[in-house]
Amino acid sequence: SQTIHQWPATLVQPVGSPLSLECTVEGTSNPNLYWYRQAAGRGLQLLFYSVGIGQISSEVPQNLSASRPQDRQFILSSKKLLLSDSGFYLCAWSATSDQETQYFGPGTRLLVL
């Protein structure tokens, strides 16, 4: 069966520091991968999605970036964090044969101070 992992689970970072969040998927090949952000008590905002290695599409302009160095690895990064980057970051995957159904990871809670 497929599983999706995210780490770290929680992170507290000072303003201006760099960020690297990692997501990996097991049990499937060539998945579509997604990064979402969820502000406290709010809905899900799609940040990036990827249909293959090195292929990244950005949904919203921001100081975050994403990379997909391997088929089942998706990384969310920032060179300098802002206070407004605080939130719950969720990675999701979907099978290329079924681009609709997305399955979410456990999330990373980021607090920027």
Which residues of this chain interact with another protein, rule CB under 8 A?
34, 42-44, 46, 49, 59, 90, 92, 99-107, 109
17/38 with CB nearer another protein: 38
Please report how close the Cβ of residue 4 comes to another protein at its closest, in angstroms. 8
Please report how close the Cβ of residue 92 comes to another protein at its closest, in angstroms. 8
**Concatenated DSSP letters of 18-51:** -EEEEEEEES-SS-EEEEEEE-TT--EEEEEEEE
Look at the chain and count its residues: 113
